Chain A
Amino acid sequence: MTRQAHAPAQPADALDGFRLDAHPMQEHFGPYGGSWIPEVLVPAATRIAHAWADARQDPDFLAEYAHLCRTFIGRPTPLQDAPRLTSHAGGARILLKREDLAHTGAHKINNAIGQALLAKRLGVTSVIAETGAGQHGVATATACALLGIECVVHMGSHDIERQHPNVVRMELLGATVHPVDEGTRTLTDAVSSAVRAWISDPEGTYYLIGSAVGMHPFPTMVRDLQCVIGHEARVQSLALVDQLPNAVVACVGGGSNSIGTFVPFVADEGVELHGAEAAGDGIDTPRHASSIAGGRDGVLHGAHTKLLQDDDGQVLPTHSISAGLDYPGVGPEHAQLAATGRATYHPVTDAQAMDALEVLCRTEGIIPAIESAHAIHLAVELASTRSSDEVVLVTVSGRGDKDLSSIIAWREGRLGDAR
Chain B
Amino acid sequence: MTAATSTTPATGAVRIRAAFDAARAAKRTALVPYVVAGRPGIDACVDLVEQLVAAGADVIELGVPFSDPLADGTVIRNATRRALDDGMTVAGVLDIVRAVRACDVEVPIILMGYVNPLLAYGLEAFCADAASAGVDGLIVPDAQQLVALRSAASANGLGITMLVTPLSSEARIRELATQSTGFLYAVATTGATGARTDVADATLDLLVRARAAAAGVPVAVGFGISTPEHVARLAPHADGVIVGSALVELVEQDAAAAIARVGELAAATRTA
Residues of A within 8 A of B (CB): 34-43, 182-183, 188-189, 192, 195-196, 199-202, 296-302, 307, 309, 311-315
Contact = CB atoms under 8 A, between A and B. Distances in A.
A196 B192 contact: yes
Contact of A313 (B117, B165, B176): B117
Contacts of A309: 116, 120
21 contacts: A36-B142, A38-B71, A38-B141, A39-B164, A39-B165, A40-B192, A42-B165, A42-B172, A183-B78, A192-B68, A195-B70, A199-B192, A201-B190, A298-B120, A307-B116, A312-B89, A313-B66, A313-B118, A314-B66, A314-B67, A314-B117
A309 B117 CA distance: 9
Contacts of B142: 36-38, 299, 302
Nearest to B88: A312
A199 B117 contact: no
Given A182-B74, A313-B116, 17 more contacts: A35-B145, A38-B70, A38-B141, A39-B165, A41-B70, A189-B77, A196-B73, A196-B192, A298-B116, A300-B68, A301-B70, A302-B70, A307-B116, A309-B120, A311-B120, A314-B84, A314-B117
A264 B71 CA distance: 35
A315 B191 CA distance: 24
Task: Please tell me the size bucket of the interface on B.
Answer: 35 or more
A286 B163 CA distance: 37
Contacts of A296: 120
B77 A199 contact: no
B68 A39 contact: no
Contacts of A312: 89-91, 117, 120-121
A196 B76 CA distance: 13
Interface in B151-169: 162-165, 167-168
A99 to B, nearest CB: 29
Contacts of A36: 115, 142-143, 145
A37 to B, nearest CB: 6
B144 interface: yes
B81 interface: yes
Interface string B168-182: 100010001000000
Contacts of B164: 39
B78 A182 contact: yes
B169 to A, nearest CB: 9
A307 B120 CA distance: 11
A200, A300, A313 interface centre (most CB from chain B within 10 Å): A313
Contacts of B77: 182-183, 189, 192
B44 interface: no
Given A196-B191, A199-B191, A200-B191, A315 B115 contact: no
A315 B67 contact: yes
A100 to B, nearest CB: 32
Nearest to A188: B68
A298 B70 CA distance: 15
B69 interface: yes
B89, B90, B116 interface centre (most CB from chain A within 10 Å): B116
Interface in B98-156: 114-121, 141-145
Contacts of A298: 116, 119-120
B67, B91, B115, B172 interface centre (most CB from chain A within 10 Å): B67
Contact of B120 (A43, A188, A313): A313
Contacts of B117: 312-314
B77, B118, B187 interface centre (most CB from chain A within 10 Å): B77
Which 8 pairs of residues, A with B, have the shortest CB-CB distance?
Answer: A313-B120, A313-B117, A200-B191, A38-B141, A43-B167, A196-B192, A38-B71, A314-B67
B270 to A, nearest CB: 30
Contacts of A40: 71, 163, 165, 167, 187, 190-192
A300 B120 CA distance: 13
A286 to B, nearest CB: 15
A199 B191 CA distance: 5
Contacts of A188: 68
Contacts of A307: 116
Contacts of B74: 182
A206 to B, nearest CB: 15
Contacts of B116: 298-300, 307, 309, 313-315
A39 B141 contact: yes
B71 A313 contact: no
A196 B189 CA distance: 12
B176 to A, nearest CB: 8
B263 to A, nearest CB: 30
Contact of A39 (B67, B91, B115, B163): B163
B165 A315 contact: no
Contacts of A299: 114-116, 119, 142-143
A302 B81 CA distance: 20
A307 B89 CA distance: 18
A41 B144 CA distance: 12
Contacts of B144: 39
Contact of A192 (B70, B120, B172): B70
A116 to B, nearest CB: 23
Nearest to A298: B116
Nearest to B117: A313
A313 B192 contact: no
Nearest to A200: B191
B121 A313 contact: yes
Contacts of A192: 68-70, 72, 77
A37 B90 contact: no
Nearest to B192: A196
Given A299-B116, A309-B116, A312-B117, A199 B71 contact: yes
Contacts of A297: 119
B190 A313 contact: no
A36 B149 CA distance: 13
A83 to B, nearest CB: 46
B126 to A, nearest CB: 10
B68 A301 contact: yes
